[in-house]
């Protein structure tokens, strides 16, 4: 488990709807040039129940080693329908804008 993201290192931390975690991960991976596969999702999905946003060491970190290397951090918010996500790494303005748009979309979008 990782510690709560340091605001100095994380370029983004916020919540998304839990049902949107996989598409968020896939989108961020695509933007960073990382090939996200079922094994990547299984690692994140299996780790999520052991995480807790309210514990300082309750975050799970997962490297996305693409063209733009990023580390995805996730933490469950037990009792709610959201998951907290954070990202660390150095990315260009275009990649950052795409990720911020995905963050917004996946924090409000609900499949019908």
Per-residue pLDDT tens digits for 47-92:
999 999 999 889 999 999 999 999 999 999 999 999 999 999 988 9
Report the DSSP pairing between strands 82-88 and 10-17: antiparallel
Q: Is residue 18 a part of any domain in this protein?
A: yes
Question: Domain range for residue 77?
Answer: 11-108
Number of domain units in the chain: 1
Q: Is residue 27 a part of any domain in this protein?
A: yes
Beta strands in 18-108 (DSSP E): 60-64, 70-76, 82-88
Q: Is residue 4 a part of any domain in this protein?
A: no
CA dihedral 56, 39, 42, 23 (to 10 degrees): 90
Instruction: Give the confidence band of 25 by pLDDT, cuts at 50, 70, 90.
Output: very high
């Amino acid at each position: 488990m990782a510690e709560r993201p340091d605001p100095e290192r994380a370029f983004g931390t916020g919540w998304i709807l839990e049902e949107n975690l996989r598409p968020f991960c896939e989108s961020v991976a695509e933007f960073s040039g990382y090939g996200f596969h079922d094994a990547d999702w299984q690692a994140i999905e299996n780790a999520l129940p052991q995480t807790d946003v309210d514990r300082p060491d309750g975050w799970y970190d997962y490297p996305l080693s693409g063209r733009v290397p990023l580390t995805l951090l996730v933490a469950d918010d037990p009792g709610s329908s959201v998951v907290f996500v954070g990202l660390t790494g150095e990315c260009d303005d275009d990649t950052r804008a795409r990720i911020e748009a995905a963050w917004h979309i996946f924090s409000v979008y609900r499949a019908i």
